Structure 1
Amino acid sequence: MDAVDAVAAPRGGTYADPLPEVRDAGRWLHPAEPEPDAGVRLFLLHHSGGGASMYRAWPAELGAAVACRAVQLPGRQERRREAPYTRLEPLVAALAEVVAQDWDGRPYAVFGHSMGALLGYRLTVELERRALPAPALLAVSGWAPTGFSAPAALSSDPLAALRLLGGLPAGVEADPELLAQAVRAMAADGAVCADHRDDGAVVGAPVVAYQGREDPLLAPGAMRAWSGRTAEFLGCRTFPGDHYYLRDHARALTADLSQSLSRYTATG
């Protein structure tokens, strides 16, 4: 099994500059070659137990003006032979290095769903802390720093959590190998999320939030907590559906996101 790209810092410790080395940052990103004429990059972070494929339809929805960069974490899909991260801090440090390597001077934004929203938030905090090029916009979905409750089964029974949340794609449960990979990734991602200790960090980037109206993991009004984590909160857009509402509403979500991208990345 391949080693994880970044070496974990001691619990409670911090990374010193420079960022930990990440071998071949392109391995983390889909597609391998971004749209060359796009005016903005959009880094997409997936949910617990998921993978970059959840965003396969987004490039077509967003069009050639946006270069989608779907992040593939180790331990799933084509990276299934690599050890997954189980700690938040080293994963965020590695993501910061991936973004730093991929950045070419054009403005960029970050979108994350569920665990991806947590990662996007901590990634933005880390980039700003290091005075590295930070996103012009942070878009978060299905997770909030307060008012979010992970299912109890997440740590004790990842398969039960996947079933409860409807996070198993069609055909996965019927394939023992794919199912084992999904459970392994879910368990590791659950450990990453459990490793988060909220410090109330505020980001300089504008934040726009999205959620499903019937999301069982979010308390009423939870997404409004983002107003206290940014200098400019752009509000919360609500769609019909549960925690995975964006599967059915990707077109409407990306249309709304496009408007914010146009506004906040126009000047870089």
Structure 2
Amino acid sequence: MQKIKLFCFPFAGGAASFYNPWRTLLPDYLELHCFELAGRGSRITESLYSSIAEIVDEIMIKLRPAFESGPYALFGHSMGGIIVYELTKRISEQNMPMPVQIFISGKGPLHLPRPELKIYSMPDDEFQKNMIEMGGISEDFFRSPELACLFIPVIRNDMRLAETFEVKELARLSCNITVFYGEEEILKPTDVEQWRYYTKGVFKAHYFKGGHFFIKDYTREIIDIISNTIMQTQMSC
């Protein structure tokens, strides 16, 4: 089977290294590419983003050659799901080769009303409590003044981008969409499945026990779904 590039984009505060364990689990025909956002990992000294659009602008510049050089798929969790949808819209608008499949994890349909938590603007104690409850960060992280001082601004800024994001125009994409969602999250399946209106192709949703970071507990299962979905998509072409 022809090699297919799988580009993965992180959740708020996440680094590209989150996806490193996937490398040993993916089949040979999937080539993992983990995109590092500014302000973390190897780009820790770089300025933070002002908008999701700015992130998409950068990705288009850096990854356009890869998108135009062979088949690829996109995966994003939470804020990464917003990035994937907006990126795919931009790819379509510029008449570039579309991804064979996009995967959106831990993110509800972008047109639905969201709870007005505004976690990003909360005082430190409330902010830390909410982040721990979401499951992405352990209490130990916040016990380290050095780590907290370094990464809380990054996490806050990402949360601001995600919480204040408003989709300007809904576009029905030509590529298939597969969604992953935690059963203990706020949305009901009937809400989650409104993602089907974002594609002219095949839509499918998969649900997992757990909250927002179910992705940590079901890595093997998620990778199997990604692999099988891409294989079926390619075989039907």
TM-score (norm 1): 0.79
User: Is 1:78–2:42 an aligned residue pair?
Assistant: yes
- State how far apart, in whole Å, the 2-side matches of 1:50 and 1:237 are: 22
For 1:6, the equivalent position in structure 2 comes to none
Matches of residues 1-268 of structure 1 in structure 2 within 5 Å? 39-103=3-67, 105-144=69-108, 145-147=110-112, 149=114, 152-157=117-122, 158-169=127-138, 171-193=140-162, 194-216=164-186, 218-265=187-234
Query: What code does the residue aligned with 2:24 have?
Result: A
Query: What code does the residue aligned with 1:105 have?
Result: S
Structure 2: runs of 5+ lacking an equivalent: none
Shift of 1:225: 1.2
Report if the CA contact (8 A) 1:75-1:81 is conserved.
yes
Consecutive aligned runs of 4 or more in structure 1 exceeding 6 Å deviation: none
Identical positions, percent: 23
Report if the CA contact (8 A) 2:101-2:230 is conserved.
yes
TM-superposition CA deviations, 1:235-268 (whole Å, max 9, x none): 1011111100010001011101111111224588
TM-superposition CA deviations, 1:213-242 (whole Å, max 9, x none): 1123x3442221111010123310111111
Shift of 1:188: 1.5
Q: What's the RMSD between the two structures over aligned residues?
A: 2.2
Report if the CA contact (8 A) 1:206-1:231 is conserved.
yes
- State how far apart, in whole Å, the 1-side matches of 2:203 and 2:167 are: 25
Query: What code does the residue aligned with 2:64 have?
Result: A
- State how far apart, in whole Å, the 1-side matches of 2:69 and 2:235 are: 13
Shift of 1:113: 0.6
Do the aligned partners of residues 170 and 55 (structure 1) sit closer, same or farther apart at CA in structure 2, a change above 3 Å counting?
Answer: farther
- State how far apart, in whole Å, the 1-side matches of 2:28 and 2:159 are: 35
SS at structure 2 position matched to 1:192 = helix
Bigger shift: residues 135-144 or 117-126: 135-144
Query: What code does the residue aligned with 1:114 have?
Result: S
Report if the CA contact (8 A) 2:68-2:97 is conserved.
no
Shift of 1:171: 4.4
SS at structure 2 position matched to 1:155 = helix
Do the aligned partners of residues 121 and 225 (structure 1) sit closer, same or farther apart at CA in structure 2, a change above 3 Å counting?
Answer: same
- State how far apart, in whole Å, the 2-side matches of 1:99 and 1:150 are: 33
Structure 1: runs of 5+ lacking an equivalent: 1-36
SS at structure 1 position matched to 2:141 = coil
Report if the CA contact (8 A) 2:173-2:201 is conserved.
no
Do the aligned partners of residues 267 and 185 (structure 1) sit closer, same or farther apart at CA in structure 2, a change above 3 Å counting?
Answer: farther
Query: What code does the residue aligned with 2:44 have?
Result: R
TM-score (norm 2): 0.88
Do the aligned partners of residues 243 and 151 (structure 1) sit closer, same or farther apart at CA in structure 2, a change above 3 Å counting?
Answer: farther
Aligned length: 231
Higher helix share: 2
- State how far apart, in whole Å, the 2-side matches of 1:151 and 1:238 are: 24
